Amino acid sequence: MERTVPGPVRWATVLWAAAVACGVTETALALAGMLASGGAVPWTGLLVRVAVYTSAALVVVWFARGHRWARVALVAGLGVVGGLGTLVAPVVLAALEGGGVLAAMGHESHGPVYLVVRTTHITAVAAAAAATFAPGANRYFAGGAVPARASG
């Protein structure tokens, strides 16, 4: 018997996927800027980001399939850890150094497109986290183990 996926879970899936796509886009924009200014490819950082975003995309798929652990992993990983790394830490550091929020969000270093993508990224994560724990999503994930896929 297949469970019907409620609207909040479908929306959360789309928003988590959008957040991952925004993260990939931010990385590409920053890398393009570095290369355009004659900088070298930061291979270690790039490989870490590829691993993080690939893992996150896979967890989004597992979330969409109803795995409870994936819901916690997304909120903890992309919401808490990612949120601290992409928003809270840069803004706090910028404030301590006398810089502004726009600078902390990458506007001065990467331009307005990057700022729009980063803002969209943060908004998608916040909305996804809210949808992930909406009442319909809570009922869906409380419904028990993920049903086995029928063969054939």
How do residues 27-73 score in pLDDT, each as one tens digit? 999 999 999 999 999 999 999 999 999 999 999 999 999 999 999 99
> For the purposes of burial, counting CB atoms within 10 Å of the CB of 112, is it exposed (0-12), middle (13-18) or buried (19 or more)?
exposed
Q: Assess if residue 30 is contained within a domain.
A: yes
Provide the residue range defining the domain that includes 123. 7-141
Q: Assess if residue 70 is contained within a domain.
A: yes
In the predicted structure, residue 145 carries a pLDDT above the cut 70: no
The reported pLDDT for the residue numbered 44 is 95
The reported pLDDT for the residue numbered 50 is 96
Q: Assess if residue 57 is contained within a domain.
A: yes
Is 147 strand, coil or helix?
A: coil
Q: Assess if residue 150 is contained within a domain.
A: no
Domain count, the chain: 1
What whole-number distance in Å separates Cα of residue 34 and Cα of residue 132? 36
Q: What is the pTM of this model?
A: 0.86
Q: Assess if residue 98 is contained within a domain.
A: yes
What whole-number distance in Å separates Cα of residue 34 and Cα of residue 40? 7
Q: Assess if residue 1 is contained within a domain.
A: no
